[in-house]
Amino acid sequence: MYKLGWFSTGRGGGSRTLLTRMRDEIEKGNVKAKIEFVFSSREPGDAEGSDTFIRLVESYRIPLVCLSSKRFKASAGEYLSPQWRLEYDREAMKRLKGYNPDLCVLAGYMLIVGPEMCQHYKMVNLHPAAPGGPKGTWQEVIWQLIESKATETGVMMHLVTPELDEGPAVTYCRFSIRGELFDKHWEEIKGLSVGEVKARQGENNPLFKLIRQEGFTREQPLIVATVKAFSEGKVRIEKSKIVDSKGKVIKAYSLTKEIDEIVKGK
């Protein structure tokens, strides 16, 4: 059975929804995998949101390992400094000793993973753009897409490496941001700079909201489809390279067709 490590701070509803979606797909037999453990960077009593997440994990009877970044912060010096991250990750790996996940998924994990941990585990993380697309937060990505008058974007899972957000794309899907749904909103901002759009409407701009909606709709399915592809041997990570079922090195594994079918089926 393919073994997953699930890393999440568990701060909000999105983290719970992701875990539930993954667990449900496994329970239905759609994904041949097992969540070997959930690691949370919060402990009971840290925050209401994470307490709810912890109770959810316990209700699923999934082994849970917690290490409060808040409490570790108090005893380990400067919060989020490279040294702090190193010490925190070492303690986390010590607590996870005995687990041997085939793949670790960062799903709402709010800490930067240090070099030792991401070299110890094969870890993937979500980024709200297609390979070669804009970097940054999802908000920054969308503004860059609008500024460049892009015709398409996407969502990808990338390998976690010591260089923040620089790991190679592992899986991805693409979608158009032109056509019937989008064209009228592009026309509405024709001739305006991104700065003017931000000043007038900000994130309430209809084009901004539509791009976000289409991307968000694909994020959960992509995470599930990525785990499914790994569990079936269609894609894997070897020495920080992405390879297909035949062992051939590839730039990334496209899941566009699968995600389009899921989105259209909703």
pLDDT of residue 266: 62
Q: Among the CATH numbers 3.40.50.300, 3.10.580.10, 3.40.50.170, 3.60.15.10, which is that of 1-121?
A: 3.40.50.170
Q: Which residue has the tokens 């539509």?
A: 210
Q: Which amino acid is at 99?
A: Y
Determine the Cα–Cα distance for residues 144 and 128; give it in Å rounded to an integer.
12
Can you list the residues of the chain whose pLDDT is less than 70?
A: 76-77, 79-80, 266
Determine the Cα–Cα distance for residues 13 and 67; give it in Å rounded to an integer.
20
**What pTM was computed for the model?**
0.92
Buried b (16+ CB within 10 A) or exposed e, 167-190: bbbbbbbbbebeeeebeebeeebe
Q: How many CA atoms lie within 13 A of 256 on its CB side?
A: 12
pLDDT of residue 3: 98
pLDDT of residue 216: 93
Domain boundaries, the chain: 1-121, 133-154+175-266
| Residue 205 tokens, joined | 């701009």
